[in-house]
Amino acid sequence: MDNPKQHQQRVALITGAASGIGLQIAHDLAEQGAMVCIVDRNGPAAEAAAQAITAAGGRAQAFVFDLADAQALAAGMDALLARVGQVDILVNNAGIVSTTPARDVTLAQWNTTLAVNVTAPMLLTQRVLPAMQAQRWGRIVNVSSISGVRAGTGRLAYGSSKAALIAMTGQFAIEVAAQGVTVNAIAPGFVDTPMLRSLHGSSKASTYQDVCPMQRFCSPQEVSAAVLFFCSEAAAFITGQTLGVDGGYLASGLFMPKLFDIPAAAPVS
């Protein structure tokens, strides 16, 4: 059984950690003893998240920079590393999404989505790897999506970026495995967060729930549990993998929840 304070001497950096999934991951890693770096573009929310973790007995610091800007990201990491020394756990959680018909996606939407969802994780991973390799221990977890595995309506930029993130996970994983650094990804399904609720538009929640075999949304706690597993010693020999946290969505294929409610057709003679 894992030590509940297994990350006592470690520093964890979580992007997009001021709300939603990232905030839950930050709280959970802090409970396991890590000093968590809350990275988010929303300064007040990042500070509030860090204060909440500290008030709960954990350790946290807030850092504000725009992941879409490579120069700002580099400067932000300079400041972060000057304060915390090194990063032992990196969770690339931040992501942006919009639902736009494929033919209407603008170049600006495409470039910004890839900058945040793919390029920023690449740059952050490159920045933290030398220290992880030197100490022969490190954990990197990329938060992808079911949209990175299966196509979805209105998700040209988002789905393509999340598929690239999964591919990048494996590329990094095989090059650093010998130094005790693991790189894995999770592919959450429909998670009950403010971002998902904002995408409902005129549709109902059931629009999303009906395509999930478990018929419900995933909770941020359930996503965080998968991240914490990949960060744990129990996952030391697992790398380059993508784990669906999706209530069976990716396994479902032709999922028809009302199939057995339909009267059987007459036998064909």
Task: Report yes or no on 269 lying in a domain.
Answer: no
Distance CA 183, CA 239 (A): 5
Adjacency order of strands within the sheet including 242-245 = 59-64, 35-40, 11-15, 89-92, 138-143, 181-188, 242-245
Provide the domain limits for residue 240. Answer: 11-248
Which CATH number covers residue 146?
3.40.50.720
Task: Report yes or no on 193 lying in a domain.
Answer: yes
Summarize pLDDT for 13-61 with one digit per residue, the tens.
999 999 999 999 999 999 999 999 999 999 999 999 999 999 999 999 9
What's the structural domain count of the chain? 1
Task: Report yes or no on 256 lying in a domain.
Answer: no
Task: Report yes or no on 27 lying in a domain.
Answer: yes
Average pLDDT value for residue range 154-168: 96
Kindly give the pairing relationship between strand 35-40 and strand 138-143: unpaired
Task: Report yes or no on 148 lying in a domain.
Answer: yes
Average pLDDT value for residue range 105-118: 97
Catalytic annotation, residues: 158
Task: Report yes or no on 4 lying in a domain.
Answer: no
Residue (of 175, 70, 168, 162) closest to 130 by Cα position? 175
Do 220 and 193 meet the contact criterion of CB atoms below 8 Å apart? yes
Task: Report yes or no on 184 lying in a domain.
Answer: yes
Local confidence band at 4 (pLDDT 50, 70, 90 cut-offs): confident
Please report, as a single letter, which amino acid is at residue 79. A
Mean pLDDT score of the chain: 89
Please report, as a single letter, which amino acid is at residue 54. T
Local confidence band at 1 (pLDDT 50, 70, 90 cut-offs): very low
Kindly give the pairing relationship between strand 138-143 and strand 89-92: parallel
Summarize pLDDT for 196-253 with one digit per residue, the tens.
555 544 445 556 666 766 556 778 899 999 999 999 999 999 999 999 987 666 667 6
Do 33 and 7 meet the contact criterion of CB atoms below 8 Å apart? yes
Distance CA 152, CA 241 (A): 22
Residue (of 160, 175, 68) closest to 126 by Cα position? 175
Task: Report yes or no on 126 lying in a domain.
Answer: yes
